[in-house]
C-alpha cells in the first residue's frame, strides 16, 4: 500500500512471506496440519508439511476424475452416473462414492491416480456408513491423499487437463455447486466464488478449494489430523482452517 492507502501491484510481496506467516500461526494449533497454496495467475506455490494422509471424502475428487475417464472412453454412459456424481461431490454422499467405485472397478481409481501423476493418492476401500460398501476393500490399507495431490487435481480441472477440457468443465461446475461451505468458503469475502470439496472423520478435517477472488485466482488445500479430537473438535478445526484461509485471502488480494 502506498502512503495514500492505495494498493500498488508492483510492491506485492512474495508467496514466501505468506508461507512464513502460516507456519508461524500453525505452530499454535493442535494436531498435524498440511497446507498447499498456489496462485493460479502467477504459478507461485508452496506447501507446508506435505504428506500422505487419510483422505476421508477428498478421495471423491479422484473418483470423479476416474469415472469421467471411463465415460470418455465410452465404457460408462454419462446419463447413468450424472446424478450419482453430483450427490457424491455436492453433498458428499458416501453411498454414491461406493456406487462409482463399483462402476469403474475397485482397483481402477488407484491406477487412474498413478497414471495421472497423483503420486500420494490411493483408493483401497469404500466409505461408511452407507450400507453398500461391502466387498470394496482391497485389504491394502486406507484411502490416502495429500494436499499437493489435491492441489494438482484442482489445477488440472481448472486448466482443462483432467480427462479433457469438456469433462474438466463439468467437474468444475459440480465443485462450484458444493453444499458443504463451512470451511474454506466461510473464510472468503461475500460474493467470491469457491469450488471445493471437504472431508472429515472423527479425527480428520480437510478442505480443498479453488478461490476466484478479484485479487487472484488461487488454490488452497488444508488437511488436518487431530487424533482423539472427536467430532466436537471438528468445529474448532473449522474455525482455525477459516483463519488460515482468511490469511491467504488477505495476502493474495491485498498483499498484506
Closest CA to 165 of 72, 101, 77: 72
In a domain, 238, yes or no: yes
- If you average pLDDT over every residue of the chain, what do you get? 86
DSSP code of residue 49: S
Tell me how far apart the terminal alpha carbons of the chain are, to the nearest angstrom: 8
Residue 126 has pLDDT above 60, yes or no: yes
| Coil/strand/helix, residue 211 | strand
Residue 13 has pLDDT above 70, yes or no: no
Alpha carbon 29 to chain centroid, angstroms: 21
Closest CA to 220 of 188, 180, 254, 177: 188
In a domain, 7, yes or no: no
In a domain, 22, yes or no: yes
User: In angstroms, rounded to a whole number, what is the distance separating the alpha carbons of residues 39 and 211?
Assistant: 10
User: In angstroms, rounded to a whole number, what is the distance separating the alpha carbons of residues 228 and 113?
Assistant: 30
Instruction: Determine the pLDDT at residue 255.
Output: 40
User: In angstroms, rounded to a whole number, what is the distance separating the alpha carbons of residues 121 and 111?
Assistant: 10
In a domain, 75, yes or no: yes
Closest CA to 120 of 99, 137, 145, 103: 145
| Least confident interval from 9-18, 38-47, 126-135, 211-220 | 9-18
Instruction: Determine the pLDDT at residue 118.
Output: 98
Instruction: Determine the pLDDT at residue 256.
Output: 32
| Helix (H) or strand (E) segment spanning residue 53 | strand 53-54
Instruction: Determine the pLDDT at residue 230.
Output: 44
In a domain, 26, yes or no: yes
Are 252 and 213 in contact by the 8 Å Cβ rule? The answer is yes
CA dihedral angle for residue 111, residue 68, residue 158, residue 225, rounded to 10 degrees:
-50
In a domain, 247, yes or no: yes
Domains in the chain: how many in total? 1
| Least confident interval from 34-43, 81-90, 124-133, 167-176 | 124-133
**Domain encompassing residue 56:** 12-254
Answer yes or no: pTM beyond 0.85.
yes
pLDDT in tens, 102-117: 999 999 999 999 999 9
Instruction: Determine the pLDDT at residue 153.
Output: 98
In a domain, 6, yes or no: no
**Among the ranges 186-190, 199-203, 231-235, 248-252, which has the highest mean pLDDT value?**
199-203
In a domain, 2, yes or no: no
CA diameter of the chain: 65
CATH number of the structural domain spanning residue 176: 3.40.710.10
Listed in sequence order, the DSSP H helices in the chain are 15-26, 59-72, 78-90, 94-104, 108-115, 147-158, 165-176, 230-254
What band does 232 get if pLDDT is binned at 50, 70 and 90?
very low
User: In angstroms, rounded to a whole number, what is the distance separating the alpha carbons of residues 32 and 172?
Assistant: 29
Amino acid at each position: 500500500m502506498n502512503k495514500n492507502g492505495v494498493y500498488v501491484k508492483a510492491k506485492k510481496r512474495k508467496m514466501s512471506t505468506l508461507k512464513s506467516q502460516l507456519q508461524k500461526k500453525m505452530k499454535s494449533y493442535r494436531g498435524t496440519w498440511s497446507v498447499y497454496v498456489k496462485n493460479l495467475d502467477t504459478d507461485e506455490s508452496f506447501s507446508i508439511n506435505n504428506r500422505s494422509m487419510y483422505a476421508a471424502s477428498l478421495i471423491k475428487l479422484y473418483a470423479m476424475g476416474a469415472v469421467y475417464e471411463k465415460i470418455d472412453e465410452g465404457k460408462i454412459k454419462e446419463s447413468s452416473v450424472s446424478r450419482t456424481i453430483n450427490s457424491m461431490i455436492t453433498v458428499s454422499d458416501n453411498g454414491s462414492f461406493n456406487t462409482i467405485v463399483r462402476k469403474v472397478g475397485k482397483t481402477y481409481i488407484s491406477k487412474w491416480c498413478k497414471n495421472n501423476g497423483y503420486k500420494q493418492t490411493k483408493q483401497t476401500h469404500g466409505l461408511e456408513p452407507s450400507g453398500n460398501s461391502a466387498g470394496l476393500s482391497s485389504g491394502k490399507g486406507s484411502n490416502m491423499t495429500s494436499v499437493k495431490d489435491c492441489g494438482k487435481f484442482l489445477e488440472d480441472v481448472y486448466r482443462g487437463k483432467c480427462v479433457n477440457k469438456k469433462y474438466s468443465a463439468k467437474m468444475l461446475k459440480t465443485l462450484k455447486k458444493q453444499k458443504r461451505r463451512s470451511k474454506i468458503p466461510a473464510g472468503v469475502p461475500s460474493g467470491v466464488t469457491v469450488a471445493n470439496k471437504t472431508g472429515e472423520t472423527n479425527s480428520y478435517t480437510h478442505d480443498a478449494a479453488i478461490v476466484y477472488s478479484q485479487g487472484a485466482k488461487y488454490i488452497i488445500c488444508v488437511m488436518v489430523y487431530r487424533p482423539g479430537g472427536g467430532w466436537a473438535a471438528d468445529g474448532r478445526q473449522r474455525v482455525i482452517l477459516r483463519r488460515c484461509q482468511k490469511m491467504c485471502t488477505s495476502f493474495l488480494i491485498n498483499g498484506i
